[in-house]
Amino acid sequence: MDYNFPFKIDKKINKTANIDYDSHIKQLIELILFTAPGERVNRPTFGSGLNQMIFAPNSDEIATATQFLIHGALQQWLGDLIKVESIIVKNDDSKLNVTIQYITKTSQQRHVSEFTRDIQ
Protein backbone atom coordinates (compact mmCIF):
# COMPACT_ATOMS: atom_id res chain seq x y z
CA MET A 1 0.00 0.00 0.00
CA ASP A 2 1.09 3.54 -0.77
CA TYR A 3 -0.08 7.01 0.15
CA ASN A 4 -2.82 8.58 -1.90
CA PHE A 5 -2.07 11.72 -3.88
CA PRO A 6 -3.14 14.30 -3.12
CA PHE A 7 -2.53 13.50 0.53
CA LYS A 8 -5.75 13.08 2.48
CA ILE A 9 -7.23 11.47 5.56
CA ASP A 10 -9.50 8.43 5.24
CA LYS A 11 -12.49 9.45 7.36
CA LYS A 12 -13.55 5.85 7.93
CA ILE A 13 -10.40 4.97 9.84
CA ASN A 14 -9.13 8.48 10.71
CA LYS A 15 -5.71 7.73 9.25
CA THR A 16 -3.75 8.54 6.11
CA ALA A 17 -5.56 7.33 2.99
CA ASN A 18 -3.76 4.52 1.19
CA ILE A 19 -4.08 3.12 -2.32
CA ASP A 20 -2.79 0.04 -4.09
CA TYR A 21 0.62 0.11 -5.79
CA ASP A 22 -0.65 0.23 -9.38
CA SER A 23 -2.92 3.20 -8.63
CA HIS A 24 0.00 4.91 -6.92
CA ILE A 25 2.15 4.51 -10.05
CA LYS A 26 -0.65 5.99 -12.17
CA GLN A 27 -0.83 8.99 -9.81
CA LEU A 28 2.95 9.45 -10.09
CA ILE A 29 2.70 9.45 -13.89
CA GLU A 30 -0.07 12.05 -13.79
CA LEU A 31 1.97 14.17 -11.41
CA ILE A 32 4.93 14.17 -13.81
CA LEU A 33 2.75 14.83 -16.86
CA PHE A 34 1.01 17.90 -15.50
CA THR A 35 3.83 19.51 -13.52
CA ALA A 36 5.75 22.21 -15.35
CA PRO A 37 9.56 22.20 -15.08
CA GLY A 38 10.52 24.91 -12.61
CA GLU A 39 7.28 24.55 -10.65
CA ARG A 40 8.96 22.57 -7.84
CA VAL A 41 11.43 24.64 -5.84
CA ASN A 42 13.88 21.88 -4.92
CA ARG A 43 13.45 19.93 -8.16
CA PRO A 44 13.61 22.46 -11.00
CA THR A 45 13.74 19.79 -13.72
CA PHE A 46 10.79 17.77 -12.35
CA GLY A 47 7.82 17.49 -14.71
CA SER A 48 7.23 17.30 -18.43
CA GLY A 49 5.84 20.67 -19.48
CA LEU A 50 2.83 18.99 -21.06
CA ASN A 51 0.47 21.80 -20.04
CA GLN A 52 2.37 24.18 -22.32
CA MET A 53 1.66 21.91 -25.28
CA ILE A 54 -2.09 22.50 -24.92
CA PHE A 55 -1.64 25.90 -26.56
CA ALA A 56 0.83 24.76 -29.23
CA PRO A 57 -0.35 24.38 -32.83
CA ASN A 58 -1.77 20.96 -33.56
CA SER A 59 0.59 19.09 -35.90
CA ASP A 60 2.29 15.73 -36.29
CA GLU A 61 5.66 17.29 -35.45
CA ILE A 62 4.37 18.80 -32.17
CA ALA A 63 2.76 15.47 -31.22
CA THR A 64 6.02 13.61 -31.87
CA ALA A 65 8.06 16.17 -29.92
CA THR A 66 5.58 15.93 -27.04
CA GLN A 67 5.87 12.14 -27.02
CA PHE A 68 9.67 12.36 -26.72
CA LEU A 69 9.33 15.03 -24.00
CA ILE A 70 6.98 12.83 -21.97
CA HIS A 71 9.09 9.71 -22.50
CA GLY A 72 12.21 11.50 -21.29
CA ALA A 73 10.49 12.83 -18.16
CA LEU A 74 9.00 9.44 -17.29
CA GLN A 75 12.34 7.73 -17.86
CA GLN A 76 14.15 10.25 -15.68
CA TRP A 77 11.74 10.22 -12.75
CA LEU A 78 10.09 6.78 -12.89
CA GLY A 79 12.63 4.72 -14.84
CA ASP A 80 13.27 2.48 -11.83
CA LEU A 81 9.53 1.75 -11.39
CA ILE A 82 8.13 1.43 -14.93
CA LYS A 83 9.14 0.63 -18.49
CA VAL A 84 7.29 2.84 -20.98
CA GLU A 85 6.19 0.94 -24.08
CA SER A 86 4.21 3.59 -25.97
CA ILE A 87 2.90 7.12 -25.68
CA ILE A 88 0.10 8.56 -27.81
CA VAL A 89 -0.63 12.30 -27.66
CA LYS A 90 -3.75 13.81 -29.23
CA ASN A 91 -4.77 17.44 -29.13
CA ASP A 92 -8.54 17.51 -29.74
CA ASP A 93 -10.06 20.99 -29.88
CA SER A 94 -10.36 21.80 -26.17
CA LYS A 95 -8.78 18.65 -24.74
CA LEU A 96 -5.33 17.13 -24.56
CA ASN A 97 -5.37 13.32 -24.43
CA VAL A 98 -2.33 11.27 -23.48
CA THR A 99 -2.37 7.47 -23.50
CA ILE A 100 0.60 5.68 -21.96
CA GLN A 101 1.25 1.95 -22.09
CA TYR A 102 3.79 0.77 -19.53
CA ILE A 103 4.97 -2.23 -17.56
CA THR A 104 5.34 -2.03 -13.81
CA LYS A 105 8.79 -3.47 -13.07
CA THR A 106 7.94 -5.09 -9.73
CA SER A 107 4.94 -7.07 -10.97
CA GLN A 108 5.77 -7.20 -14.70
CA GLN A 109 2.13 -6.29 -15.44
CA ARG A 110 1.19 -4.20 -18.48
CA HIS A 111 -1.00 -1.15 -17.91
CA VAL A 112 -2.64 1.37 -20.21
CA SER A 113 -3.53 4.70 -18.64
CA GLU A 114 -5.26 7.63 -20.28
CA PHE A 115 -4.93 11.17 -19.03
CA THR A 116 -7.09 14.05 -20.25
CA ARG A 117 -6.76 17.76 -19.58
CA ASP A 118 -9.36 20.35 -20.57
CA ILE A 119 -8.31 23.79 -21.75
CA GLN A 120 -9.85 26.23 -19.30
Per-residue pLDDT of the chain (120 residues; tens, 9 = 90+): 566 666 667 677 776 767 788 888 998 999 999 888 888 889 998 988 787 776 666 667 777 888 899 999 999 999 999 999 999 988 776 677 899 999 999 999 999 999 987 765
Structural domain containing residue 43: 2-118
CATH code for the domain of 108? 3.10.450.40
Confidence (pTM) = 0.81
Q: How many domains does the chain have?
A: 1
CB atoms inside a 10 Å sphere around CB 65: 14
26 vs 96: CA distance, rounded Å: 17
